[in-house]
Amino acid sequence: MWGAVCAGADDLWAASDVSGVCGAGVVKGHDDTLPSDEWQYTVVHWHAYDEYRGNGCVPSDSAYRARRRPRVALFDPWAVAGWLDKGIRLHVRHRDLYAKVDGMWMPISAADLGEVRRLHMLTASCGESIHTDVYFNGLHHDLFADAMTAKQCTRDCRQS
C-alpha cells in the first residue's frame, strides 16, 4: 500500500495512505480490527529507507531502493509500525499533521498518531509495503517500509 505524495504550501503535511487493509476495504479505525497473519505465510520482512526530496520531485521507486542498502531490516509488523512512528514523530514536533483518509486530507492530532501507528501495523501484517511522506518547508521526508520475500531480497537479511 503506497501513501500519497503531499504537495502543499502549508507548514507541514504528513501523508500516509491507510485506507485499506489486506484488500478487505476501508478500515475505519475499529478497535476490533485484528492483525492478519498473512505476512507469516508469505514470509516477508521489510527493508526500511528514509529519503529527502524537494518539492516537485517524485519519490524513488521500489526497484531503485532495492539496489540500495536499507537503513534497517524489520522482521514483524510491530517493528515496521514502530520504525515509521519514530520517523514521523521526529519530524512532526509542534506542527500541524494531516493524513489522507478515504481520499480526503484530514487534520489529525498528536493523539491520532497512535491510530496511524496501529493502521501501519495492520497494513504490514498483510505483508504490504508502506510509504509515508512528511512535508515541511518545501522538503519531503519519505519513509518507506518495502515488503520483501527471501527471493526478492538481495541483502541476505537475517533476524538476529
Encode pLDDT of 44-95 as tens digits. 999 999 999 998 899 999 999 999 999 999 999 999 999 999 998 887 765 6
**Does the residue 160 lie in any domain?**
no
Predicted local distance difference test score (pLDDT) of residue 9: 29
Residues of the chain with pLDDT > 90: what percent?
35
Question: Average pLDDT, whole number, for the chain?
Answer: 76
Residues 6+ apart with CB under 8 A from 109: 97
Higher pLDDT, 18 or 128: 128
The reply to whether 156 falls in a domain is: no
Q: Which amino acid is at 94?
A: H
When pLDDT is cut at 50, 70 and 90, the band that residue 156 belongs to is confident
Q: Higher model confidence: residue 15 or residue 94?
A: 94
Neighbouring residues of 67: CB distance < 8 A, sequence distance ≥ 6: 154
Q: What is the pLDDT of residue 7?
A: 31
Q: Is residue 112 part of a domain?
A: yes
Identify whether 29 is part of a domain: no
Q: Is the predicted pLDDT of residue 12 greater than 60, yes or no?
A: no
Does residue 81 contact residue 120 with C-beta atoms inside 8 Å? yes
∠ CA 132-76-105, nearest 5°, is: 20
pLDDT of amino acid 35: 80
Q: Is residue 31 part of a domain?
A: no
Domain membership of residue 70 (yes or no) is yes
Looking at residues 5-28, what average pLDDT do you find? 39
In which domain, by residue range, is 97 found? 12-18+37-149
26 belongs to a structural domain: no
Confidence of residue 1 (pLDDT cuts 50, 70, 90): very low
Give the pLDDT score at 27.
Answer: 38
Task: Say how many domains are in the chain.
Answer: 1
Residue 49 domain-assigned (yes or no):
yes
Cβ count near 39 (within 10 Å): 22
Mean pLDDT of 8-19: 40
Task: Give the pLDDT of residue 60.
Answer: 94
